[in-house]
Chain A
């Protein structure tokens, strides 16, 4: 029976590409869908999340000749050449303030983050990882080439494949964060170039660098993963998601008003659609808060209104379908506007169920302490969270000082994985599974000692401090509202990348603040100062010696003397002393 089934499966696999190739002319083998989610944040800021999703019904791993249409060639070749199964790259400027802004659709740590799952066929994963980071650094103009063994870790539990995978051997995973990376226009341009329509048409027209980087938070990401082609999941398709999240601060710049429009945010409006996109939608989050309805008003009238449960919250979205012909009939361009009917009291802000905070404690330049506070604000449900901490080797962690305290009592982690650092070779990796009781704050502290670096190891401007990358919290957060089985494709951002497990909880990955730690820094001008000083002393000695040796001495005849001498003689005469 099993044999027959296997044969049947093989047959199916063998015949499946056949019809696909035959009708390639009519049926597009790759699709592009783009969407923009605009959500007002509790603080009055506005978050705009773009997502461009390219799906390609082809197997990137096979075939020597490759022909690309919508999928960018540069990334496709990379995946095929280096045996990449999944690739997640995020470049972020600023920090998503979960406490005030709520749960992000997709958060990323400040700086650059890269994590990659390789195919089991890759024999030397470290070499492929090094090569991959170098090539990506070239494609995205980012300093990803600084990824090496000192900042790469192999997490065992925090990062699971998000796409199709038939094995989770974590030796095929690599994870690295560069918190010092600064994201700017030169990273945005290559990112935009990967879009089939570039920035010429569709939603990408709004992506103008001068507005995007004039914001509180900017994060751009690329996610590549294999997905099921259809429900039966016998064949693989490849999916590329390009996401870009930006948070505009209107409350402070807009004279206290929270009203916004597309033009105010991006200094552009939407005029036409990308002809290659099979879906192009703008979602506006108009969820009523505190049960009060009709607080805000969107114009023009949306094409439809969509209700969904996203991250445990009931949300209402106004949807503008750019592909529907009625939208551009009345006016030539679309400028979504939102107005608040009544000034809102911002005193009560909803607090997300899970959020965290991290800081460096201690004083002096010898020892210190990393403190992480994790908040569970759910009124009655406890849930576990996986914490991943990566600390560079020059902060020497003392694991015996690790304390986890919840509600005044010690909290024992149910799983702990610690990999100590090796000087100049690999960082500390600490992964823990911690149970968070309902309505609690958990404080995790660990002490460290600061190492002395060699003088060549200091970066430029060492007094600025050394960054420690964000720690990562992954959790299945219990939902307040029960989730229904709904059509995921209809929801904005397709309810993000993460798989939703069941109705009662949803997956959240949070990043804490990166830390800035001062290390004992020598005075780098000291050697030069010493050289200067000794040289001056030597030169002065040399000068006087030289003078002594070269000067000619001759006896001077006494003269009538100068003014001083005559003055002295006058005084002497008064005193009755013989003159000089």
Chain B
């Protein structure tokens, strides 16, 4: 049974303390919530709240003009361990939060919450904020998507990448028509400027490697439809699933590593097919001209502007506007990691993470989900290993495999304990170790079940013995049957 404990500090600013507090500040309180995954298993989430009033420094920080300034000033005063949250309750009439906004979530691990009349209402609001900043029932279900029954999973849940120790990000520029376009992109600069900061932040979650390539004569699998009205070519939403396959054959596998690959393709359409636009399900053009494929990556179509004079010499030189492209790709990257900001109630205001591309609490969000997923993966791996052993009795478990299994079990137990103590980082590290050990044990070459002689074949070898021996037995059985039948008939004959 997994229990996720979120340590949470609720700090009341002057004039924001609800009147119906059960005890004088400071005091502690616990709220539990159960997230059921399937019939047999469920995950409990437990918010350990510490209510207190502000210190002098915090009071000074909260007196800032805007919420952003207050957030920046409060940051050095907070508990910055991974997974912990700090909520500052500001008075109902506070001017820190704009009109109509009740919750401001900062860049780090804190939020400003507008006070409501009663404690119960405040607690409901706090719970909502805590879920946004740590995990929701939906994000946990997505992490455990292998165990959730099919019908109960939202379609978005299958979009998220599986947890892994590392990811490879490949940017590919597809130029199907090098005769007409010479396309250049400053991918090195773009990666350093836009992708690197995000990945540096994400390096806590996994290892990332980035590379890029240019592929020529790589065409999409679908011929776009010509639209006379706009004199452009259109790719409709229902044809998009067929686009990727022929391209994928050219992408090249990551032979040198076992990590999953995230592909981001920039497609510069042929001259005879441009401009090319992607249509959504309703037939309207997609503003970004891009789409993503769950657990695979994203594709963006980059149209080349037609030259002013038709007799301009070919090939046309194209310099890709990498800022525009990277904006789309980074948004897709966030989507693939399940860090979408769309599912937030309207009364919430989320601070833009700035150059880092990722707020601290979003990182926590990822860590919670990945830790839970890792624990589930380990238990699945070890269960199937046990099933294999049950099926083949004479399989040999070598000492190193056994020690890996023991290590996996120990690590996964420690991860569960750390989770129930609220130590997110330690729990994540332990779960990572558990995954490594369990995979190493499961994929050990000595455990290949084909190495063992199946019992049905042993039986087949002795067919020359069993078959002739069965013949007299069967014959006499047949004789017995015939005789009993005769004996039954005889009395009727006597009549």
Interface residues of A (CB under 8 A from B): 25, 64-70, 72-74, 77-78, 81-82, 135, 138-139, 193, 196-198, 200-201, 272, 275-276, 528, 531-532, 535-536, 538-540, 542-543, 546-547, 550
Q: Does B184 sit within 8 A of A, measured CB to CB?
A: yes
Which of A67, A276, A540 is in CB contact (< 8 Å) with B178?
Answer: A276
CB-CB under 8 A from A65, the residues of chain B are 188, 191-192, 209-211
Asked if B393 is at the interface of the complex by the 8 Å CB criterion, the answer is no
B256 touches A77 (CB 8 A): yes
A68 and B472 form a contact (CB under 8 A): no
Q: Which applies to chain B's interface (DSSP): helix, strand, loop or mixed?
A: mixed
B150 → A minimal CB distance (Å): 34
CB A186 to nearest CB in B, in angstroms, measures 13
Which residues 469-483 in B have Cβ within 8 Å of A in the complex? 469, 471-473, 476
Name 6 interchain pairs, CB-CB below 8 A, sorted by A: A74-B255, A135-B256, A193-B249, A196-B216, A535-B462, A547-B472
Q: Are A531 and B214 in contact (CB under 8 A)?
A: no
Is the Cβ of A77 less than 8 Å from the Cβ of B469?
A: no
* Contact B217 A197, beta carbon cutoff 8 Å: yes
* Those of B438-464 within 8 Å (CB) of chain A: 461-462, 464
Chain B, 316-355, contact with A by CB distance < 8 Å: what is the 0/1 string?
0001000000000000000000000000000000000000
- Contact status B252-A543, CB under 8 Å: no
Query: In the bound complex, what is the Cα–Cα distance between A69 and B465 (angstroms)?
Result: 67
**A547 and chain B: residue at smallest CB distance:** B472
A198 near B216 with CB under 8 A, answer yes
Contact (Cβ within 8 A) B256 A78 = yes
B225 at the interface (CB under 8 A from A): no
Report the nearest B residue to A534, measured CB to CB. Answer: B465
Contact across chains for A67 and B212 when beta carbons are under 8 A apart: yes
Nearest-Cβ distance from residue B294 to partner chain A, whole angstroms: 24
Interface code B184-203, partner A: CB below 8 Å = 1, 0 otherwise?
Answer: 10111001100000000000
Q: Which residues of A contact B315 (CB under 8 A)?
A: 275
B198: min CB distance to chain A, Å: 14
Q: B253: CB under 8 A from chain A?
A: yes
What residues of chain B lie closer than 8 Å to A135, measured between beta carbons? 255-256
Which residues in B have their C-beta under 8 angstroms from that of A538?
A: 465, 469
**Given A67-B212, A275-B179, A535-B255 contact (CB < 8 Å):** no
A70 CA to B215 CA in the complex, in Å?
8
In Å, the complex CA distance between A547 and B475 comes to 10
Residues of chain B whose beta carbon lies under 8 Å from any beta carbon of chain A: 170, 178-179, 184, 186-188, 191-192, 209-214, 216-217, 249-250, 252-257, 315, 319, 461-462, 464-465, 467-469, 471-473, 476
Q: 7 shortest A-B CB distances, which residue pairs?
A: A539-B468, A535-B465, A535-B464, A200-B217, A68-B213, A67-B212, A135-B255
Q: Is A82 a contact of B250 with CB atoms below 8 Å? A: no
Q: Is the CB of B250 within 8 A of A531?
A: no
B461 contacts A528, CB within 8 Å? Answer: yes
Question: What is the number of contacts between chain A and chain B, taking CB atoms within 8 Å?
Answer: 99
Task: Note all chain A residues with C-beta closer than 8 A to B217.
Answer: 197-198, 200-201
The chain A residue with its CB closest to the CB of B210 is A65
A369 to B473 alpha-carbon distance, docked (Å): 60
Residues of A within 8 A of B184 (CB): 25
Q: Is the Cβ of A276 less than 8 Å from the Cβ of B216? A: yes
CA distance A197 to B216 in the complex (A): 6
Do the beta carbons of B213 and A64 come within 8 Å of each other? no
Q: Which residues of B are found within 8 Å of A72, using beta-carbon distances? A: 252
Q: Which residue on A lies nearest to B249, using beta carbons? A: A193
* A74 contacts B252, C-beta separation under 8 Å: yes
A146 to B188, CA, bound (A): 38
Residues in A with CB closer than 8 Å to B461 are 528, 531
Q: A67-B211, A276-B178, A543-B468 are in contact. Are A531 and B462 (CB under 8 A)?
A: yes
CA distance A272 to B255 in the complex (A): 33
Bound CA–CA A272/B253 (angstroms): 30
Complex Cα distance, B63 from A541, in Å, reads 104
With A67-B187, A68-B211 known to touch, is A81 a contact of B465 (CB < 8 Å)? Answer: no
Q: Are B464 and A536 in contact (CB under 8 A)?
A: yes
Q: A65-B211, A68-B214, A77-B256 are in contact. Are A193 and B250 (CB under 8 A)?
A: yes
Q: Once bound together, how far apart are the Cα atoms of A13 and B191, in whole Å?
A: 25
Bound-complex Cα distance A542 to B476 (A): 14
Contact A64 B216 (CB under 8 A): no
Question: Chain B CB within 10 Å — which of A25, A68, A196, A200 has the most?
Answer: A68
Q: Chain A CB within 10 Å — which of B184, B192, B212, B217 has the most?
A: B217
Min C-beta distance of A458 to chain B, whole Å = 18
Please tell me if the beta carbons of B465 and A539 are within 8 angstroms of each other in the complex: yes
In angstroms, Cα B42 to Cα A94, docked, is: 64
**Which one, A25, A69, A201, contacts B213 given CB within 8 A?**
A69
Q: With a CB–CB cut-off of 8 A, which chain B residues contact A539? A: 464-465, 467-469
Name the A residues within 8 Å of B250 (CB-CB). Answer: 193, 198
Among A82, A272, A531, find the residue whose CB has the most chain B CB atoms closer than 10 A. A531
Write the chain A residue with the least CB distance to B217. A200
- Please name the residue on chain A nearest to B180 by beta carbon: A275
**Distance in Å: Cβ of A280 to nearest Cβ of chain B:** 14
Q: Which residue of B lies closest to A201 (CB)?
A: B217
Please, which residue of chain A has its CB at the minimum distance from the CB of B254? A77
Given known pairs A276-B216, A531-B464, A535-B462, the reply for A74 and B253 (CB within 8 Å) is yes
**A546 lies within 8 A of B473 (CB):** yes
The interface residues of chain B lying within 8 Å CB-to-CB of A77 are 211, 254-256
Sample of 11 further A-B pairs with CB below 8 A, known A73-B170, A73-B252: A67-B191, A68-B212, A73-B213, A77-B256, A135-B255, A200-B217, A532-B464, A536-B464, A538-B469, A539-B464, A550-B476
Pick the most buried of A67, A81, A82: most chain B CB atoms within 10 A of its CB: A67
Question: Which residue of chain A has its CB nearest to the CB of B173?
Answer: A69
Give Cα A547–Cα B479 distance, bound, in whole angstroms.
13
